[in-house]
Amino acid sequence: MSTTPTQEEAEPETEYDSALVTARRQLERAATHVDVDEGVIERLKHPTKVQQVSVPLERDDGEVEVFTGYRAQHDDVRGPYKGGLRYHPEVTAEECTGLSMWMTWKCAVMDLPFGGGKGGIAIDPKSLSADETERLTRRFAEELRDVVGPTKDVPAPDMGTDAQTMAWFMDAYSMQQGETIPGVVTGKPPVIGGSYGREEAPGRSTAIAAREAIQYEGNEVSETTVAVQGFGSVGANAARLLEDWGATVVAVSDVNGALYDPDGLATHEIPTHDEEAEAVLEQEAPQTISNEDVLELDVDVLIPAAVGNVITADNADAIEADIVVEGANGPTTFAADTILDERDVTVIPDILANAGGVTVSYFEWLQDINRRQWTLEEVNEELEEKMLSAWDDVREEVEAKDLTWRDAAYVVALSRIAEAKATRGLWP
Ligand SMILES: NC(=O)C1=CN([C@@H]2O[C@H](COP(=O)(O)OP(=O)(O)OC[C@H]3O[C@@H](n4cnc5c(N)ncnc54)[C@H](OP(=O)(O)O)[C@@H]3O)[C@@H](O)[C@H]2O)C=CC1
Ligand SMILES: O=C(O)CCC(=O)C(=O)O
């Protein structure tokens, strides 16, 4: 156990803690472990800017509906704002702001020359036809034209968006600018300047983080059982890679529930969210269980890789896994984090575990600037190197200060951000 406050010392958690509230509480806690000016910490609790836009959409039947879109820009002292666009009914300004703070730390932990941004539209993407998604995305790109750009703010995919969404966004922005500008977004299809390996990257880094954590605790991946919540870009790729490395993946889920096989599932045969949404439960398995049950399975490694706030004060005591690897952003509430720490459950935080997505986005941005495409092998080798380097930086703080992996990752990030602010001489 490390030196985080006890459950009693932590402020009570409300049922509806937003990403912003959690991110601020995490920042305050981590700040007690690092020698950074209080003014810098105070500044980092607030975004630079949150852009809110109305996005009118003409439905296929001719009816017009207006949706609300956001782009939160948290901090850019180390480089352009960077982070995904989410299409989900629960997207709000506050959620985007919290998620953009996590992007600032994530880019700093990985030592990428980016700050943090996040955006999205409050909409159910499953309610849209492909044509409607295209029209919505093009209009969103037009509304965000003034705040995004390859050296300003570079969006990417997140929940409910994918490579095709990024292609439409890039095309709409390029048409407004009068020239092709691939570097305005990352996560595009490789044929228009996307990077090989970007789609799989957050799942790959989550699997790498799981592998390192398993080995750090003296065990072998081939002797490990794993449960994964969410079978999209992050969850499916993490599950498949861990299976390839010899782990027994006993459960995977989509929004409707999970397949469970104590002898291990053939994860490559289960369609991902991208291949076919809500198809997990249509596959054969000895048992199906709920999404809540997945979290409480007696496995070595649990990977929440869907939505936020799934491990809470209500179920943290029931988590049986020895290691939780956060594939999703913000799956563990502040109070649950404290409980897991007291129970000696190792939590590898989102800002390290799923950082492969933004890391390969950085590789894509470099490829766009240089007009040169890297091979998949080059991308995966560089990603492995970046992940191991970040892992070592965080591990050193865990060991030197007896911190949780989350606090240690924050210490690495905050030190780099504070040094950049001090060196630039800007009042933060
Ligand atoms: N994409 C990226 O580059 C990155 C994403 N992340 C984070 O990872 C998480 C997942 O993102 P991503 O993989 O891109 O998303 P996708 O949209 O690709 O997949 C999401 C998966 O989660 C399932 N799901 C949706 N809602 C729930 C729910 N309430 N309970 C259980 N499962 C649910 C979906 O099921 P169904 O198929 O049935 O809809 C789907 O299998 C998010 O927190 C995101 O912010 C982090 C880093 C990078
Ligand atoms: O690739 C990117 O720029 C950001 C991905 C993202 O949104 C995330 O890591 O949460």
Q: Token pair for residue 167? A: 């292609």
- Which pLDDT score is estimated for 24? 97
**Is 142 inside a domain boundary?**
yes
Average pLDDT over residues 104-113: 98
**Parent domain of 121:** 45-183
Atom of ligand 2 nearest to the CA of 99: 10
**Is 219 inside a domain boundary?**
no
Dump pLDDT digits (tens) for 181-195: 999 999 999 999 999
> Rounded to the nearest whole angstrom, what is the distance from the C-alpha of residue 166 to the centroid of ligand 1?
17
**Is 7 inside a domain boundary?**
no
Ligand 2 cavity residues, CB under 6 Å: 82-84, 106, 156, 158, 186-187, 329, 354, 357-358, 361
- Which pLDDT score is estimated for 28? 96
**Is 58 inside a domain boundary?**
yes
Atom of ligand 1 nearest to the CA of 234: 13
- Which pLDDT score is estimated for 15? 59
> Rounded to the nearest whole angstrom, what is the distance from the C-alpha of residue 279 to the centroid of ligand 1?
14
Higher pLDDT among residues 6 and 285, named by residue: 285
Dump pLDDT digits (tens) for 231-272: 999 999 999 999 999 999 999 999 999 999 999 999 999 999
Atom of ligand 2 nearest to the CA of 102: 10
Q: Kindly report the protein residue whose alpha carbon is nearest to atom 15 of ligand 1.
A: 159
Dump pLDDT digits (tens) for 132-167: 999 999 999 999 999 999 999 999 999 999 999 999
Atom of ligand 1 nearest to the CA of 276: 37
Dump pLDDT digits (tens) for 48-69: 999 999 999 999 999 999 999 9
Question: Are residues 269 and 199 in contact, defined by beta-carbon separation less than 8 angstroms?
Answer: no
Closest ligand to residue 255's CA:
1
Active site residue 118: yes
Out of 126, 158, 186, mutate this one to test ligand 1's pocket (max ligand atoms within 8 Å of CB): namely 158
Q: Residue 13: is its pLDDT beyond 80?
A: no
Q: Residue 10: is its pLDDT beyond 60?
A: no
Dump pLDDT digits (tens) for 314-349: 999 999 999 999 999 999 999 999 999 999 999 999
Count of domains in the chain?
1
Average pLDDT over residues 285-296: 96
- Sheet with strand 323-325: strands edge to edge: 287-289, 257-260, 248-254, 225-229, 301-304, 323-325, 346-348
Q: Which residues are registered as beta bridge partners of 311?
A: 332
**Is 403 inside a domain boundary?**
no
Q: Kindly report the protein residue whose alpha carbon is nearest to atom 11 of ligand 1.
A: 159
**Is 395 inside a domain boundary?**
no
- Which pLDDT score is estimated for 9? 43
Among 10-14, 199-203, 376-380, the range scoring the smallest mean pLDDT is 10-14
- HEC-encoded secondary structure of the chain: CCCCCCCCCCCCCCCCCCHHHHHHHHHHHHHCCCCCCHHHHHHHCCCCEEEEEEEEEECCCCCEEEEEEEEEEEECCCCCEEEEEEEECCCCHHHHHHHHHHHHHHHHHCCCCCEEEEEEEECCHHHCCHHHHHHHHHHHHHHCCCCCECCCEEEEECCCCCHHHHHHHHHHHHHHHCCCCHHHCCCCCHHHCCCCCCCCHHHHHHHHHHHHHHHHCCCCHHHCEEEEECCCHHHHHHHHHHHHCCCEEEEEEECCEEEECCCCCCHHHCCCCCCCCCCHHHCCCCEEECHHHHHCCCCCEEEECCCCCCECCCCHHHCCCCEEECCCCCCECHHHHHHHHHCCCEEECHHHHCCHHHHHHHHHHHHHHHCCCCCHHHHHHHHHHHHHHHHHHHHHHHHHHCCCHHHHHHHHHHHHHHHHHHHHCCCC
> Rounded to the nearest whole angstrom, what is the distance from the C-alpha of residue 39 to the centroid of ligand 1?
35
- Which positions ≥6 away from 200 have C-beta within 8 Å? 233, 237, 241
> Rounded to the nearest whole angstrom, what is the distance from the C-alpha of residue 307 to the centroid of ligand 2?
14
Closest ligand to residue 155's CA:
2
CATH number of the domain to which 165 belongs: 3.40.50.10860
Full-prediction pTM beyond 0.90?
A: yes
197 Cα distance to chain centroid: 16
Name the active-site residue from 45, 49, 82, 118: 118
Higher pLDDT among residues 426 and 355, named by residue: 355
Out of 103, 169, 186, mutate this one to test ligand 2's pocket (max ligand atoms within 8 Å of CB): namely 103
> Rounded to the nearest whole angstrom, what is the distance from the C-alpha of residue 371 to the centroid of ligand 1?
31
What is the ipTM metric for this complex? 0.99
Closest ligand to residue 161's CA:
1
> Rounded to the nearest whole angstrom, what is the distance from the C-alpha of residue 180 to the centroid of ligand 1?
30
Helix axes 93-109, 376-401, angle to 10 degrees: 90
**Is 19 inside a domain boundary?**
no
Q: What percent of the chain has pLDDT over 90?
A: 95
Q: Which residues are registered as beta bridge partners of 375?
A: none
Q: Kindly report the protein residue whose alpha carbon is nearest to atom 30 of ligand 1.
A: 255
> Rounded to the nearest whole angstrom, what is the distance from the C-alpha of residue 284 to the centroid of ligand 2?
33
Atom of ligand 2 nearest to the CA of 114: 3
Q: Which of 106, 126, 125, 131 is nearest to 116 (CA)?
A: 106
Ligand 1 cavity residues, CB under 6 Å: 84, 157-160, 202, 229-235, 253-256, 273, 277-278, 291, 305-307, 327-329, 354, 357
**Is 94 inside a domain boundary?**
yes
Predicted confidence band of residue 425 (pLDDT cuts 50, 70, 90): confident
